[in-house]
Amino acid sequence: MKFMMCCCMAFAIGCVAATAPASARAAVAVSVALAPPPPRAERVVVRPGRPWIPGYWRWNGVRHVWVAGTWTYARPGYRYASARWVRIGPAWRFHAGYWSR
């Protein structure tokens, strides 16, 4: 009975998630008490037309883990704001990287 109930709940949640419009998606804010380590130095080779998105520290629920940087394709008229950690009171809050005009 419990198994069937769990399956029905999972199905219902999946249906709601699948039908929700993109504008209704919630943003998840990550805030932790442990400061991230200093950014790692990454060796970057210049590639014309391919901007570099620097790496950052991600919180995995237990500790900070490094996410390596990567090249992406240029977006004319846009600027990339890198992912960063901001201290707010005693905690650290993560802000994901994004493209802006």
Provide, rounded to the nearest whole percent, the portion of the chain with pLDDT above 90. Answer: 63
pLDDT greater than 90 at residue 89: yes
Q: Are 29 and 93 spatial neighbours (Cβ–Cβ below 8 Å)? A: yes
pLDDT tens, residue by residue, 49-67: 899 999 999 999 999 999 9
Compute the mean pLDDT over every residue in the chain, rounded to the nearest whole number.
Answer: 80
**Cα dihedral 36/38/42/47 (nearest 10):** 80
Rg (CA), the chain: 19
CB-CB contact of 81 with 54 (8 Å):
no
| pLDDT the model gives residue 28 | 66
The predicted model scores a pTM of 0.67
Task: Read off the pLDDT of residues 5-18 as tens digits, 9 standing for 90 and up.
Answer: 333 333 344 443 44
Distance CA 60, CA 39 (A): 16
- Written as six digits, the tokens of 27 are 């943003």
Cβ partners under 8 Å of residue 35, min gap 6 = 85, 87, 92
Cα–Cα distance for residue pair 11/7, rounded to 1 Å = 6
Neighbours of 76 (CB within 10 A): 4
